[in-house]
Amino acid sequence: MGERGEDEDDAALFRAAIGAVRRLPEQHTPPATPRPKPRARMAELDEANARDEFRHALDENLLEAGDVLAHREERLPVAIYRRLRRGEIAAEEELDLHGADARTAEALLRAFLADAVRHGVGCVRIIHGKGRRGSDDVGSSGAPVLKNLVDRMLRQRASVLAYHSAPPAQGGTGAVLVLLAPAKRN
């Protein structure tokens, strides 16, 4: 007899040694806990870097109360930017930052833009004011704090295609119309 015969003898010896065996009822394995959603770590790092750059650049090239906010990404056709500048593209959502301090305004603006992109909103209006009301609205240099904060943050957002101060009937240089890129679908 070869090796196979010895294995069978050992198995028989083992069964004889332990005696009668009762089979356990079969149990289904519980479902695995869901894996956490992946985080966009690079986007978080970019956001942190942009925040740092923003804070360092606060004292450079500050806008005054009557200055126009304007920026266009190269990928946006000039004709569409012209329509935005004239106020021909309707804002679907609006954020009013009047009376907010810089830290609160920054958090509100980040959340507002992320939410707008997530929900497919194409154009938004952000009311930042002109910084003429009180000492909280104007920094130590005399420049409007919220207006400069909004300008810097919008320039650093990949989701922002263009922005321009609103026409006089929509808030003038105290508000800005922002054109957003559609959210990337996976």
> Is 33 among the domain residues?
no
Q: Is 118 exposed, middle or buried (0-12, 13-18, 19+ CB in 10 A)?
A: exposed
R_g (Cα) of the chain, nearest Å: 31
pLDDT digits (tens, 9 = 90+) for 35-85: 888 888 887 887 777 766 655 555 567 777 778 888 999 999 999 999 999
Query: Looking at the domain assignment, is residue 156 inside a domain?
Result: yes
Please provide the DSSP assignment of the chain as one string: --HHHHHHHHHHHHHHHH---PPPPP-PPPPPPPPPPPP-HHHHHHHHHHHHHHHHTTTSSPPPTTPPPEEE-TTS-HHHHHHHHTT-SPPSEEEE-TT--HHHHHHHHHHHHHHHHHTT--EEEEE---S-S-TTTB-TTSSBHHHHHHHHHHHT-TTEEEEEEPPGGGTGGGEEEEEEPPPPP-
Confidence of residue 135 (pLDDT cuts 50, 70, 90): very low
pLDDT tens figures, 21-46: 788 888 888 888 888 888 888 878 87
**pLDDT value for 27:** 83
Instruction: Decide if 20 is inside a domain.
Output: no
36 belongs to a structural domain: no
Domain count across the chain: 1
Host domain of residue 81: 41-180
**Which domain CATH number covers 163?**
3.30.1370.110
pLDDT band (50, 70, 90) for residue 20: confident
Note whether 160 and 176 are within 8 A (CB).
Answer: no
Q: 30 in a domain, yes or no?
A: no
What pLDDT score was predicted for residue 139? 53
Residue 136: predicted pLDDT: 47
Residue 71, in any domain of the structure: yes
Joined together, the tokens standing for residue 152 give 């810097």
The pLDDT value recorded for residue 4 is 64
Domain assignment present for 47: yes
**pLDDT attached to residue 141:** 56
The C-alpha atoms of residue 30 and residue 34 are separated, in whole angstroms, by: 12
CA dist 87 and 172 (Å) reads 10
Residue at 45 is within a domain:
yes
Question: pTM above 0.95?
Answer: no
Per-chain mean pLDDT for the chain:
83
Phi and psi at residue 137, to the nearest 5°: -80, -15
pLDDT at residue 21, rounded to an integer: 79
